[in-house]
Amino acid sequence: MENKLFDEMYKVETQHWWLVARRKIIASIIDTLKLGSDSKIMDAGCGNGDNLEFLSQYGELTAIERDNNALARAQSRQIGKVVQGELPDNFPSAINRENDLIVLLDVLEHINDDEEIVKVASNYAQTIFHPVGTCKMGQDEMSVVDEKLRVKGIKNLRVIDASIMPNITSGNTNAPTIMIAEKGADMILEH
């Protein structure tokens, strides 16, 4: 993006209807994730840093930006850790790649090809190996186990692990999995 455009956006970011509405829409989506207060947030390609303040309310914030002038404006806000970098080839080695949320708000809108968007995003998104939901518990047609952790349609089989969670927790899955195991053991003993 040209520096002149960055300058113009910097001047109007707090009152321009599109930028204000965009932050509200993004915040409403992030709110559905139910992130914990200790979450790690990455803004990859933060531009002037106009999203840093609202993103910082969701946890520990790190941001990268390739343009020197935009980087200086973002750093001047003194919100989170803002360093120079670029996707996909110039990611700062000092930055932790393990995050609870990575936003590419000011990057993806400049990539015209859907396949390239997926490629860029997948280069910096990864699981931290806490999968859940493969044997969802519930009453709907997509659920695999009932409220007693019994596999629907198969006699004498239960699933008692993180795979029964309908959604991933906002924190580590260890404690909820222990709770599921203890409750499952109680159910088996009662039966």
Domain boundaries, the chain: 3-124, 130-191
Report, as an integer, the average pLDDT of 92-121: 75
Neighbouring residues of 66: CB distance < 8 A, sequence distance ≥ 6: 45, 84, 85, 86, 90
Q: Which of 50, 53, 47, 64 is nearest to 102 (CA)?
A: 64
Domain covering 3-124, topology: Rossmann fold (3.40.50)
The confidence score (pLDDT) of residue 61 equals 93
Residue entry with tokens 């053991």: 185
pLDDT tens track for 170-187: 777 888 888 999 999 998
Q: Which of 111, 110, 116, 113 is nearest to 2 (CA)?
A: 110
The confidence score (pLDDT) of residue 11 equals 77
What tokens were used for 126? 């990864």
Q: Which of 178, 189, 173 is nearest to 134 (CA)?
A: 173
The pTM of the full predicted model, rounded to 2 decimals, is 0.59
Which has the minimum average pLDDT: 45-49, 71-75, 112-116, 143-147? 112-116
The confidence score (pLDDT) of residue 72 equals 93
